[in-house]
């Protein structure tokens, strides 16, 4: 039986880093337009430091941003940020060019393909559905609490993980899986030694997976 | 000084009833497509009864709907509902035909115009911004806890409230304001005696407000 190739979601199936950056910048511009009385640099710095402190998936980034700036809570300004953020997210959320063909091509060659993600399950399913990638995989393990959870159900010795996240790569490697690291997104400047292959572009995934699978 | 005309948000500025109904129907269809193993009638009945029990603004309608149906929590099915609901909401959210011209016409004739709503402030500001009606008013009282809160700041004797909600009309009337009831939306079949004027269409607001204001 051929290997199972599991794709991570963020920065592999779509460009999460680009999308979040643009969505946040447009949110801040809208908030300023709605009356936020600070300049862009000050505002975006405050937003980034809130995200740093509260995590990516916290639901009240804009509220805490106002607090950090010493500005009274204002639903109009917050709503302006929310609308711009969601409009940007929905309009830019599309698959990384090439990824659909890479997945399909691996399927055609007899690999089992899967998607897995660490994070809130409903939000990650929303991404998959909006990306129109919710029918292409054999295996869906969305909303995992860790990569080791994935390997409770998949045999690591027949699994190849494709991820842009060095800590995911390290975890999968420790579990005994082979790994392909895509050098994209917010972790792309971080070095790691654990990956069996490193590739810079989407098409590189195909040859990396195939050579790994053949034991090369 | 001329009167202040305050517009309620839901079913006056836009067709909230239509939009919610279509969004919920499409959400249920998407959930069935994503694997919800019941028919449309059963599913929508369960959803409506959850909304009845938990209120319109509760954030976990789809989760509780699965529970009510005795179906295991499934993030894929819930995400399918969320995506369809939001896509519908965003694509159908537009001002009631005519309302922009009615508001502008009242402004031109010297009325002060305002918008007020009872509900979550950020969500209601989101609606105003998406409707592109966030610059047209003189007065914004969004996210009130009750109509009496409005009249802590506005003199009821110089205020005319335009609302589709009979309980809003009753409250404003008790507070001493004049009222125009628009017979639209989910309350349109409910009789009420408190309104000074009742109108069936958007253009009717204009003549009702003017005749009320002239003491006719």
pLDDT digits (tens, 9 = 90+) for B82-100: 999 999 998 999 999 999 9
Residue B135 has pLDDT above 80, yes or no: yes
User: Which residues from A are below 8 Å from B145, CB to CB?
Assistant: none
Mean pLDDT across the stretch B150-162?
96
**CA distances (Å), origin B14, targets B7, B45, B89, B133, B136:** 11, 25, 12, 10, 15
Banded model confidence at residue B1, pLDDT cuts 50, 70, 90: low
Q: What CATH homologous superfamily does A4-14+95-213 map to?
A: HAD superfamily/HAD-like (3.40.50.1000)
Mean pLDDT across the stretch B127-134?
96
User: Which residues from B are below 8 Å from A140, CB to CB?
Assistant: 76
The Cα–Cα gap between A143 and A131 comes to: 16
Residue B19 has pLDDT above 90, yes or no: yes
Q: Which residue of chain A comes nearest to B119, CA vs CA?
A: A75
- The B-side interface with A (CB below 8 A) comprises 34, 75-76, 78-80, 82-83, 86, 90, 121-126, 128-130, 134, 140, 142-143
CB pairs under 8 A between A and B: 60
User: Which residues from B are below 8 Å from A60, CB to CB?
Assistant: none
Angle between helices B40-54 and B16-33 (to 10 degrees): 130
The Cα–Cα gap between A78 and A87 comes to: 14
* Partner-chain residue, chosen from B79, B121, B130, that has the shortest CB–CB distance to A129: B79
**CA distances (Å), origin B211, targets A72, B169, B214:** 41, 18, 5
Query: In sequence order, what are the residues at sequence separation of 6 or more whose Cβ sits closer than 8 angstroms to the Cβ of residue A65?
Result: A43, A46, A47, A50
Segments making up each domain of chain A, as ranges: 4-14+95-213, 17-92
* Partner-chain residue, chosen from A80, A121, A130, that has the shortest CB–CB distance to B83: A130
What is the per-residue pLDDT for B100? 96
Banded model confidence at residue B202, pLDDT cuts 50, 70, 90: very high
* Partner-chain residue, chosen from B34, B78, B122, that has the shortest CB–CB distance to A79: B122
CATH class of the domain whose range is B17-92: mainly alpha
Mean pLDDT across the stretch B27-43?
97
* Partner-chain residue, chosen from B79, B86, B124, that has the shortest CB–CB distance to A122: B79
Q: What are phi and psi of B136, to 5 degrees?
A: -90, -15
Name the strand (E) or helix (H) holding B76: helix B75-92
What is the per-residue pLDDT for A65? 97
Q: What is the DSSP string of B138-159?
A: SEEEEEES-HHHHTTTS-GGGE
- The A-side interface with B (CB below 8 A) comprises 34, 75-76, 78-80, 82-83, 86, 90, 121-126, 128-130, 134, 140, 142-143
What is the per-residue pLDDT for B159? 97
Residue A139 bridge partners (DSSP): A114
Please give the share of chain B, as a percent, with pLDDT higher than 90: 91
Asked if B75 lies within 8 A of A128 by C-beta distance, the reply is no
Asked if A75 lies within 8 A of B128 by C-beta distance, the reply is no
User: Which residues from A are below 8 Å from B85, CB to CB?
Assistant: none
User: Which residues from A are below 8 Å from B117, CB to CB?
Assistant: none
3-state secondary structure of A100: helix
Residue ranges of chain A with per-residue pLDDT less than 50:
none
| Strands of the A178-182 sheet, one edge to the other | A139-144, A112-118, A4-8, A159-163, A178-182, A197-199
- As a whole number, the mean pLDDT across chain B is 95
State how far residue A122 is from chain B, nearest Cα, in angstroms.
Answer: 5
Asked if A83 lies within 8 A of B143 by C-beta distance, the reply is no
Residue B64 has pLDDT above 90, yes or no: yes
CATH class of the domain whose range is B4-15+95-213: alpha beta
What is the per-residue pLDDT for B56? 85
Query: In this predicted complex, what is the ipTM?
Result: 0.83
State how far residue A40 is from chain B, nearest Cα, in angstroms.
Answer: 21
What is the per-residue pLDDT for A142? 96
CA-CA-CA-CA dihedral for B88, A34, A55, A161, to nearest 10: 50
Banded model confidence at residue B192, pLDDT cuts 50, 70, 90: confident
Mean pLDDT across the stretch B5-24?
96
* Partner-chain residue, chosen from A78, A90, A122, that has the shortest CB–CB distance to B78: A122
User: Which residues from A are below 8 Å from B119, CB to CB?
Assistant: none
User: Which residues from B are below 8 Å from A90, CB to CB?
Assistant: 90
């Amino acid at each position: 039986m051929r290997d199972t190739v599991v794709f991570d979601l963020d920065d592999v199936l779509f460009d999460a880093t680009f999308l979040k950056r643009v969505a946040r910048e447009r949110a801040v511009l809208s908030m300023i337009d709605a009356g936020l009385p600070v300049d862009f640099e000050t505002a975006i710095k405050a937003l980034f430091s809130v995200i740093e402190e509260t995590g990516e998936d916290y639901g009240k980034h804009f509220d805490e941003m106002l607090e950090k700036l010493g500005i009274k809570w204002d639903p109009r300004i917050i709503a302006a940020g929310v609308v711009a953020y969601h409009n940007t997210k929905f309009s830019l959320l599309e698959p990384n060019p090439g990824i659909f063909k890479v997945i399909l091509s691996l399927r055609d060659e007899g690999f089992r393909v899967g998607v897995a993600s660490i994070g809130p399950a409903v939000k990650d399913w929303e991404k998959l559905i909006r990306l129109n990638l919710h029918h292409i995989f054999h295996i869906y393990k969305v909303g995992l609490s860790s990569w080791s959870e994935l390997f409770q159900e998949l045999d690591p010795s027949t699994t190849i993980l494709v991820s842009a996240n060095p800590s995911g790569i390290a975890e999968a490697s420790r579990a005994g899986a082979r790994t392909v690291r895509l050098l994209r997104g917010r972790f792309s400047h971080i070095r790691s030694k654990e990956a069996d292959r490193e590739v810079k572009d989407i098409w590189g995934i195909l040859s990396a997976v195939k050579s790994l699978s053949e034991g090369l």
